[in-house]
Structure 1
Amino acid sequence: MRTEAAERAELVFSLFDANGNGVLDSEDFDLMTGRVLRVATASDDGAREALRASFHRWWTTLATELDANGDGVISVEEFRPFVLDPARFGSVVDEFARALSALGDPDGDGLIERPLFVSLMTAIGFAEPNIHALFDAFGPDADDRVAVATWAAGIRDYYAPDLAGIPGDQLVAVRAV
């Protein structure tokens, strides 16, 4: 696994730990789902349910695949070496990428506007300067929008253990506030 990917995995763990107790548990995914859906007010019920289902699948897959000691929580030690394994998590990441990027396109025009992108990514827990750097790395159009497909691909790339120099690395880079 590349260093950049390891850093992305560490950040994902810290964000998934929504209740801040140092481990991942089902409550974390319920909290994360609620935070994201609270800012997706313009999205239809289908898009909202797809996101809810994708977070639920994240948790059930993590619990099934990574809870080595069966204690119902995932420690960083259980999480770190496996979360970027495409064989284990590729379909989960794909489902999440489709759901989150669709949630960012409530009008169905295939484009995501910066304000909603920032709101969704902030709800997940990313730092705002890094969110703007990511959006800029996606190459927004003259109206400050990026394609849904671009964001979905960026999410998939974020979880790829062999990639570096990708737009998603902007989320890990330390930025001045």
Structure 2
Amino acid sequence: MTGMRTEAAQRIELIFTLLDVNGNAVIDSNDFDLMTDRVLKAAAASDDGARADIRVAFRSYWTTLATELDTNGDGAITVEEFRPFVLDPERFGPTITRFAQALSALGDPDKDGLIERPLFVSLLTAIGFEEANCHAVFDAFAPDAQDRITVATFAAGIKDYYAPQKAGIPGDLMVAAPAV
């Protein structure tokens, strides 16, 4: 794919590893069920609507991958199949937009438009990101004096993470070696 940045490729390699929750070197439906359960556990304070939305978003993410990439019908996606598709905004953009909206809304259980650091970190560590990296990304989003970011900032950051032409974005800090 033309225009893909090294940083984008690194972000996608990491997300594949995180989505392979059961560690069998492919992404399958079971991985999305496990991931959904972990994220919902971290979002215990969120209302039923937000919880249902993230379930739908994770299911849509899997369905999109399976429909677009599982050409042999084995129910599994390899990293080689995953890489070019996920970095194609025209093909994968709507799925990521839905996922970004659902995950960012889950981080705002009181619906004030703001996400506090502890819940942000909990959600992203539930996905599998390193805690130190989650704090670095939150800091890169320039939180307010009460240590909060906007839901819109988080959603935009998620979409940027999947953008092949983007570099120097907060999401790149997810790939960096965790601070010691």
Superposed CA deviations along residues 107-147 of structure 1, whole A, max 9, x for unmatched, are: 00000000001100010000011000000000000000000
Q: In the alignment, which residue of structure 2 is the partner of 1:78?
A: 81
State the SS of the aligned residue for 1:80: helix
Following superposition of structure 1 onto structure 2, how do residues 38-53 of structure 1 map, counting pairs within 5 Å? 38-53=41-56
Find the aligned partners of 2:165 and 2:76 in 1 and give their Cα distance. 27
The amino acid of 1:151's aligned partner reads: F
The amino acid of 1:69's aligned partner reads: N
Structure 1 position 79, deviation (Å): 0.8
Report the number of matched residues: 177
Find the aligned partners of 1:167 and 1:52 in 2 and give their Cα distance. 25
For the aligned residue pairs, the C-alpha RMSD in angstroms reads: 0.7
TM-score normalised by length of structure 1 = 0.98
Q: In the alignment, which residue of structure 2 is the partner of 1:10?
A: 13
Find the aligned partners of 2:82 and 2:159 in 1 and give their Cα distance. 18
Superposed CA deviations along residues 83-112 of structure 1, whole A, max 9, x for unmatched, are: 111111100000000000000000000000
Please say if residues 68 and 78 of structure 1, whose CA atoms lie closer than 8 Å, have aligned partners that are also in contact: no
- Please list every run of at least 4 consecutive aligned residues from structure 1 whose deviation after the TM superposition is greater than 2 angstroms: none
Superposed CA deviations along residues 64-89 of structure 1, whole A, max 9, x for unmatched, are: 11113221100111111221111111
The amino acid of 1:138's aligned partner reads: F
Matched, 1:147 2:150: yes
TM-score normalised by length of structure 2 = 0.96
1:96 to 96, 99, 115: 99
Could you tell me which runs of 5 or more consecutive residues in structure 1 were left unpaired when the two chains were aligned: none
1:164 to 158, 163, 167: 167
Please say if residues 57 and 95 of structure 2, whose CA atoms lie closer than 8 Å, have aligned partners that are also in contact: yes
Please say if residues 133 and 179 of structure 2, whose CA atoms lie closer than 8 Å, have aligned partners that are also in contact: no
Q: In the alignment, which residue of structure 1 is the partner of 2:39?
A: 36
Please say if residues 131 and 171 of structure 1, whose CA atoms lie closer than 8 Å, have aligned partners that are also in contact: yes
The amino acid of 1:71's aligned partner reads: D
Could you tell me which runs of 5 or more consecutive residues in structure 2 were left unpaired when the two chains were aligned: none
